[in-house]
Amino acid sequence: MTQFHKPDSEPVRNFHNSDMERAVLACIMIDAKAAPKAMMMITSPEVFYEWKHQMVFRAMGNLFNGGQGIDAITVSDELGRMELLEKVGGDSYIGGLMGEVITGANIEQHAKRIIDCKTRRDLAKHCGMFDVLNNMAIPATEVGVKIVELLINDIDQNRQRKIIKLDSAIVETIDDIGKRKAAIASGNSHLIKTGFPSLDYRTGGFEPGQLWVVAALPSMGKSDTMMNLSRNVAGRGHTVGIVSAEMSVASLTRRLISIHTDVNSLEMRSGTLSEDSMKIICRSSDYWRLPIYIDDRSRPTAADIRATAMMMVAQHGIKVLFIDHLFECKPRATDNEGWIELVSNIKSVGRDLGITTVLLTQLNKLNANDLQHKPILKDLRHGTDAAADVVLMLYRENYQESCEQCELEIITRKSREGLLGTTKCLYMTTTGKQGELENSYSGQDYRTYTGNVVEPEEALPF
């Protein structure tokens, strides 16, 4: 049972607004449409700072959950039943609340204000930093991100001071190699397969702490490649996070459904799909179970990405984080140094949290006469290749021409501890599905594309 208490911590007293709390309670009582909005936004009576406001809201919650109307009379009756009416000020206090506002139209705005104050109180209890929290011009959620950034900077500085003697490093490394060998033998490798066999052969797969970069010209297929990789990883039980600064959750979800069901993605977006296709989408429910979590905020900063990643790791245990894409993120400065810093900070997210980060980015714009040349590392901007552990570049001939299926090359241009080479895939542009066509590291054409993204001896579990 939730424990309600009167706040008594001096530092948090600055972070409340009694007038706004009364306004929220008044809106609920004078406008029936305000109650469901408030109950969805305010998830606990303790969002209110004043104890009597907590009790009044608790009474309102009891009435709302019981399907009863909420007004001054019913609230007073419920408080009386709870033996709290006199403690909060009696009928006169409840009646007085009715005069705080004349309309409930602004309930969402008022509720956001008191939720903001509650967030600041929580942050103050855990970390102090009152000079940051007292800046009421900045939303509390952004303040939280700033505090996380400051704390991580402290951690980074402490880590940079650590100096390790070679013999100690050798002992630790040999021990780590032994653990990896034992994990492979037990079928619990720390490496996560990408779903493309030759790519896994060259790179080993996704490794915690690594930064992968997937680069291509616009409309080459970066987002579809991301969703295929996400599906392959999540389909094997590893949780995936996506920070999508370019596309909405709805757009990414349509792509995933299209990849899984072979239903034309354009028909889904336009609503022109057939009844049979609609039945396929509804019946193919296996993809609903994929452990994929998406944040589609626009123009995220490095601090936003770190905060989102920390939340996804803590709450969902993600192993791979995709970021789509670099130039939709917001650096501290728009010069070359600002972008280099952003890429470096994104890489540190994976290292600090023990996850693989996969950063999508666009290549330098080429002249029309150069569109047919296969991309190389120098086509990357802002030193992205220097920070990356693995660089994949996408290429397909005549990609600006319309075609329902084509050959897509996933070219490994950099792999710190692996091999370079090309993974050739059949790319169904109408659905976004990609599947490897040949065993690129031996030249053996060991399978043909069947419509399912599978490994030679291991299919996805659906």
pLDDT tens per residue across span 123-140: 776 555 555 555 555 666
Q: Side-chain half-sphere of 86: how many Cα atoms within 13 Å?
A: 1
The pTM for the full model equals: 0.64
Do the first three CATH levels of 10-136 and 194-436 match, i.e. the same topology?
no
The fold adopted by the segment(s) 10-136 is DNAb Helicase; Chain A (1.10.860)
Closest by Cα among 12, 104, 101, 23 to 56? 23
Instruction: List, as one string, the DSSP characters of 255-266.
Output: HHHHHHH---HH
What pLDDT band is residue 462 in, cutting at 50, 70 and 90? very low
Cβ atoms of residues 229 and 394 within 8 Å: no
Name the residue with tokens 């109307």: 69
Q: So where are the chain's domains?
A: 10-136, 194-436
Chain segment 239-293, per-residue pLDDT in tens: 999 999 999 999 999 999 999 999 998 999 899 989 999 988 888 767 788 999 9
Please identify which residue in the block is written with the tokens 């589609």: 296
Instruction: Please state which CATH class domain 194-436 belongs to.
Output: alpha beta
Q: What pLDDT score was predicted for residue 116?
A: 87
